[in-house]
Amino acid sequence: MATLVVGLILFLGIHLLPAFPGVRGGLASRWGEGRYKGLFSLVSFAGLALIIIGYAKAERGDQLFAPLPAAIAVAPYAMTVAFVLFAAANMRGYLRQTLSHPMLIGLLVWSGVHLLANGDLRGTVLFGAFFGYGVVDLFSAVQRHAVKTFEPVARHDVIAVIAGVVVALVLMTFHRVLFGVQVAPFGI
């Protein structure tokens, strides 16, 4: 479990830097923008690797609460929405313009549904940490008015929907192989 926790601290900690513009700006000016981004990427990658390794090696732990049947039932649909939002965050479409922060909203959907559908210690640590990060970062982004302006293009929304649905279907198909739990009847 320690590896998972260290990974979460590294990954989510580095991703919280933009929530503190003074700290982020100070580091970028001290090290240079390129070096800051390189270090950001390196720490992110290391944290993500430790999260994956730590989650795979950690015991499920005690069952802290009973999984919510409603969360299990809506999970495939919620995950599809989350992946569409993840894709929309990188497109210049109406979804991104309307929601302002689709990546963080998608993260809250993804982590919230997984948190409620699991209930074990390992899952609660992982998904609870991501959910908490999502709440803090969304609040910070709204307070900082961290929204880029652009002219939306409808085809970007179409691309985001198609990409999100395809990724969701692929992950649902291989969820048992990747994570040990079959989440869709068509999963292998």
Q: Quick one: pLDDT at residue 20?
A: 84
Domain boundaries, the chain: 1-58, 62-188
* C-alpha to C-alpha distances, 100 to 109, 142, 152, 165, nearest whole angstrom: 15, 9, 12, 21
Q: Quick one: pLDDT at residue 147?
A: 87
List, in order, residues 6 or more apart from 117 with CB less than 8 Å away: 67, 68, 71, 72, 75
Q: Quick one: pLDDT at residue 16?
A: 92
Q: Quick one: pLDDT at residue 10?
A: 97
Q: Quick one: pLDDT at residue 120?
A: 96
pTM of the model: 0.91
Q: Quick one: pLDDT at residue 132?
A: 97
The residues pairing with 120 across neighbouring beta strands, listed in sequence order, are: 63
Q: Quick one: pLDDT at residue 187?
A: 84
Query: Taken in order 99, 94, 111, 42, is the CA torsion positive or negative?
Result: negative
pLDDT along the chain (188 residues), means of 10: 97 91 85 90 96 95 96 96 97 95 97 96 97 96 89 96 97 91 86
